[in-house]
Structure 1
């Protein structure tokens, strides 16, 4: 437990007092080299006892009373103490406690207060221990770089941070405070031009600032629009249509009821809905399947069915693995969206047309994996969990260190 050899120990005892386990350790006197003149000596001038907070022992707080000799060199007269094998120099926390802190800190659900309760030291000591021992060097820029943003919460002066991720290894390269082009340039400025030119692909959403950043900082990279964000844009637009139609009907009507309670089945991907299982509906007064509910929803307004089919057409296009005639198929979809009577889909058509090159680039595969921001979304969820469990971070540098430590922990 203490990492000491039995031969080193002169005396070892323990006792319990007020719910605290106390361990007394006295190190034997042995011949030691003087750090000043390198002569050996066994002469001593008293002892020193230090108290060290130790990780909980048998679910009890634990204190180690560590006693060692003060040596005197018979040649030069210098007095010296041996290094403490249980803790670092000038530290009042045992090495085992430090290891426990660093291990527990890998869990994003653990706050510094919870760690302090388990390790039997103060929250301040946990924070000081963590930030002095966490090694989070800035990663190298990868050949395939994913860029996304994450919300930092209300306590943060800047509401968003930019997350940089290595698509091939799923490791987070860095977090940048703020999402403006100026913020990103400051965060990336330490990378040389040669390192930036090694980035071959950049995957991002359709935020214009990320496009500008990619073109400026990674001029040799191919820009890819993340497919998830395109589909989300279409689904969000479709939901606005459904809500708009719902509000045209009386709140007591069947149409309002169906759109309010069942529009979610139209927003899901067709393959993710259980269509044929029948359930009793108390409002309608009979057993009904999701297939029949979809038919009833389509009867409310013709745009509901037409826009649903367009949404599903784009999802089917997005799933294509054969890259043959991709541009031709996308052009047909853009035309269909533009010809829709729903103005929201007409705006979607303009967005698809404007970003057509980047959308087609997203079908590129690296080691049989299509380039996307999929891996970065799960990392964003971890960052949000760290922020939520801690109640928010006012100091972004501390959040960055904790997040990188958790996300890239091995």
Structure 2
């Protein structure tokens, strides 16, 4: 069987599967599951074209990683075949642990478990199946390999992950202001003392990258309608879990039912790896299929929120620079109680507050390093003629209030 297939990607054109091992990993059920998890969760409620999946993103990131490694080799950076394959696998599997709707339900189905941790557990299981072939890929993923630039290519403030998702999300949403010159950035990458750097002539591409990232957060990832829809989805799962654990009958797919019945934590995952197999059965379809049942459930909160989300009749939402006061929310909860003839606890499901933050670049920690012509390496924020980057280092926080539109108008 020919395993060196060529895939046609709408963003980059042809993508090559470089070897048999990567082909077999892509064919595995863990990876194929990513076909059924949308990259941007429920953002297609705002941008109808945002239907691309984690599967698309993973393959695109692998393609860009291949370009980056070839470029670094061309500049004299020694990269063995084993290292090449390992970092390709690491970026291919970096999002393997995402649950339904990607980031939206990350802390709703289980407690205190980030998707990166689940990705690692899945990679470790794959490693057993492939007789240790992923040992080096896991070291790179965990940042335990002696050459740190490989991990920085997978996860940093200027990693291959971001280079793909910004370009891909811009393409599928149609928000072309968020498009970046990923090819040029890749050509400007280099390695100094084992650390990933950007050559000085690529500094304006970095500024554009950071500007595009900031814009995409406000215009796409943190768009107020998407935030509202995601919040409603979180509340639906919360209510379904609450009712299930009270002993009420809440129809759901078998895999989802287990996560509704139990409050699963990281410790549960580590002590019972069968939970991982159940988790690997979950995707967006479990949630939508269950919500279609829940729109007819006798519980007012569950059926009302489910029906609203299915029909895209969303709650109202407003953003503010200041935190929403308790007086405002208490008043809206009281109005919701009267409007729907429900208890204060039930009404609280329809009145939610929260905050979102946006920072394109955080100078502290793992920063973006610029290699100047004379050989010294400096933080990109220290570049004398780029005041915009310093401005983009500031974290901007906005507070939101979600409530029924009829009550907000009152």
Relative to the length of structure 1, the TM-score reads 0.27
Relative to the length of structure 2, the TM-score reads 0.27
Query: Based on CA coordinates, which of the two structures has the bigger radius of gyration?
Result: 1
Q: Which has the higher strand share?
A: 1
